[in-house]
Amino acid sequence: MTWWALVSVAAVLIAGCSNAPSSPGSSSSSGSSAPGVSAHQVSVGAVATLSGGLAADFAPIVPGVRAYFDMVNAEGGVNGRKVVLSKVLDDGTVNNDAVTRTLIQQDHVFALVGEATAFFTGQPFLVQSGTPTFGFATENDWTPAPNLFAAYGSVIDYATTEPFFPYIAHQVGAHVAAVVAYGVPQSADECSAAVKALQEYGVNVGYTDLSVQLGGSLSSDVVHMKQAGVDFVISCLDVPGNLDLSRAIQQNGLTGVSQLWLDGYDLPTLRHYTSLMQHTYFLVQHVPFQAAKQFPGAFPGLENYIKTMDRYEPAYTYNEVAMSGWLSAALFVAGLRAAGPSPTQHKLISAINHMTNFTGGGITQPVNWEIAHVRTTSPACETFVEAVGDNFKVVFNRGRHLWVCFPTSGHVDLSHPVAAPAGTPGA
């Protein structure tokens, strides 16, 4: 799952955005099991929120897809065919179903590679048509359909992340924690899990507010934190909310506080708000961007990502959403290769669903697509970065062993993380 997307969706829900009704349309695809496939080209489409208040959180998936396809085509394509992102449509947040049907019924694309939206209303039609679809999940509407492939796996399971909150609290020497979230499920549910886990593992939770108002003042929250002696804050807010929280912390003289944000691992944001983000920590689901320079030569998959993005889409190299696009394109191409010289949608889907250790070329923990539509893989693993000066630094690592992993069931010992699965980059 992608933390920033969940928080962004929360912000939209608070602002009162609603889904548009589904548009009418046929319940079948173009009728061919290989639409969009010609002798020399495979044509795919993308649907993303390219306009409006959420564009920054979803639109960069497209440059990530394009860069990966550009790299593949420069190397000769797949089985003699170029892979072309021929249509990219804007769902404007509320028209996902309508534009999805356009791509399938009118443009006859082979697959959707780059599905990124707050409201995935096109999901029922994609499942019904059997169209291979790749992107990232903001809710559990990518599971259990076998043709929907979300980056990092198609299931969102808050329980698997619970141990990471007390783990980081112990790592920073926290004595009293505070937890804040917006009052909608996409934000509050994750932070509720954080409160539960902190208490379970003996971290004193001195203050909670799981109903923060979008755009409201956080000074009262910080005053209560100061009175409770808080020295560690977990935030499930969006980036503007996190920045407002940091300002309130500074303005109210709450010193010696470490923070964990679930949204904001973004280099331009850090360099613009350096003073507000110092000693803020982030959970990351892939090899962090900064690992390429911290550990030169150790992560060739990440180095290839950076080199390729710098060549084709340099404005988006260090963008988390672009990384989701890259991973989506990588999985699609892996499936297309496995489908052979006469690919069909069924062959592609079947091939991917037999992949047990997809890492995006050495960027993520292995995803087992034999189970990733219905449950998460154990152990759950994360990497961590800290904002230090005007850059991020990989932390809680053991040299190039970056991953912190805990089993998804049974006993968890925070002082002894388990080994990362075989094939994990750097493990």
Q: How far is CA 207 from the centre of its chain?
A: 28
Q: State residue 5's pLDDT score.
A: 57
Q: State residue 117's pLDDT score.
A: 95
Q: Quick one: what percent of the chain has pLDDT higher than 90?
A: 87
For the CA atoms of 77, 64, 3, 173, the dihedral, rounded to the nearest 10 degrees, stands at 100
Considering the domain delimited by 3-152+307-352, tell me its CATH architecture. 3-Layer(aba) Sandwich (3.40)
153-186 exposure pattern, b = at least 16 Cβ within 10 A, e = fewer: bbbbbbebbbbbbbbbbeebebebbbbbbbebeb
Please give the average per-residue pLDDT across 178-207, as a whole number. 94
* Residue 150 backbone zone (phi > 0: left; psi -120 to 50: alpha; other: beta): beta
Question: Given the DSSP bridges, would you call strands 204-212 and 232-235 parallel, antiparallel or unpaired?
Answer: unpaired
Asked which of 30-34, 186-190, 200-204 is least confident by mean pLDDT, the reply is: 30-34
Question: Does the pLDDT of residue 309 top 90, yes or no?
Answer: yes
Q: What's the fold here for domain 158-284?
A: Rossmann fold (3.40.50)
Question: Does the pLDDT of residue 24 top 60, yes or no?
Answer: no
The number of residues in the chain equals 427
Query: For all residues of the chain together, what is the average pLDDT?
Result: 92
Q: State residue 17's pLDDT score.
A: 47
Q: State residue 377's pLDDT score.
A: 87
- Domain definitions of the chain by residue range: 3-152+307-352, 158-284
Please give the average per-residue pLDDT across 77-101, as a whole number. 97
Q: How confident is the model at residue 53 (pLDDT cuts 50, 70, 90)?
A: confident
pTM of the complete model: 0.92
Please give the average per-residue pLDDT across 271-294, as a whole number. 97
Residue 81 structure tokens: 């065919």
Q: State residue 4's pLDDT score.
A: 52
Residue 221 structure tokens: 């929250």
